[in-house]
Amino acid sequence: MTEMMTTGPSPATSSAGAPLEKVPLESYVPPAKPSLIGFSREEIAAKLGEIGVAPAQRKMRVQQLWHWMYVRGAQSFEAMTSISKDMRKELERHFTVARPEVVAEQISNDGTRKWLLRLPSGDKVEKAHEVECVYIPETDRGTLCVSSQVGCTLNCSFCHTGTQRLVRNLTAGEIVGQIMVARDRLNDWIDRETPNGNRLITNVVMMGMGEPLYNFDAVRDALLIVADNEGIGISRRRITLSTSGVVPNIKRTGEEIGVMLAISLHAVRDELRNELVPLNRKYPIAELLQACRDYPGASNARRITFEYVMLKGVNDSLDDAKLLVKLLKGIPAKINLIPFNPWPGTSYECSDWERIEKFSEYIFNAGYSSPVRTPRGRDILAACGQLKSETEKLSVRERQALRAMAMTD
């Protein structure tokens, strides 16, 4: 299972013959001079061994590099002044600490920032790959939404990304690199000058482009670096991974990563979810919810978030709300109701506000937190497609995901 999830899913098909999942068109081709960003301590030690660093020195050198990269945010080896000049020159000959390239930045009136990041292509003929990450500031937190794939594995019918091809999985370094870029641009490293020294980026959500659990190994390795107390140091309780329901890897997420879990549910009946989230044909609702009940570490203090986009006349009836409450019985849960944001060509509409409020009220009275998420960064999200090509606009799912985590509970 690990190998399949690392390289992408097998092309299962729906009853209509359309693929439920896409196979990556490309694979990552490492540069001749790799960045150390995203390597584990063990991998860095091995790299140092390859360039002749003595075994007795490797642990110390790894700790020095780790501190300079992830605590101080050094963007070159030259800046790592506690390392000897000769060692810095040797490191510079073989490695970099490069992050993804920032192609464009947009800043909203409310402080939300969005960066378009360029990644190397495995094929020199192809144009460079691009992904986006978004920072949403609030009074008590700063949330960074991070991508896991170029494109997306899945074909969710209400999601614009579902119309795109899956180009390739991101590496652990490219996932961690998005956080490094955001901290660079926000001046959010240890030596920045602020009255209290508090971090601007306090929360990370794996809710950008892609299905994280179809790139499990890289996502796991990246998030373990993000949560490392001697490095970036973001608590696992402030990291949320969102999945459309890749059941076999949900348990692994709890056991091997230990972060908060979010489920893109969007329907309470299999026949409807088969249409909205075709992956449901492979992992139906009952199987998905059982995986949630079994999720390691789930409790009232570590609730699973269920994302539910409100679609007019599709999934927004009071009967849907009642069945949702019934289905989630026994699961420590909160429910994010997300107003749908239509995109050109979609047949779906957003539910009426009165209907959304009644839906929310029923769920709340049943004992669940059910906030209706309101947009942040509206002025830049509305024009987000201008940053990418016409076939690679920021997806509805990405916008919904940002909204879902943009408000305080």
Write out the catalytic residue numbers: 132, 384
- Which helix (H) or strand (E) segment holds residue 50: the answer is helix 41-50
Could you give the CA distance from residue 97 to residue 297 in angstroms, rounded to a whole number? 34
Closest CA to 304 of 362, 270, 253: 253
Strand partners, 149: 169
Among 387, 324, 328, smallest CA distance to 134 is for 387
Q: Characterize the bridge pairing of strands 304-310 and 333-339.
A: parallel
Report in angstroms the alpha-carbon separations of 151 from 132, 154, 159. Answer: 11, 9, 12
Are the CB atoms for 285 and 291 separated by under 8 Å?
no
Q: Which of 146, 202, 194, 176 is nearest to 70 (CA)?
A: 176
Name the nearest CA neighbour of 217 among 66, 62, 38, 63.
38
Phi then psi for residue 152, to 5 deg, are -150, 145
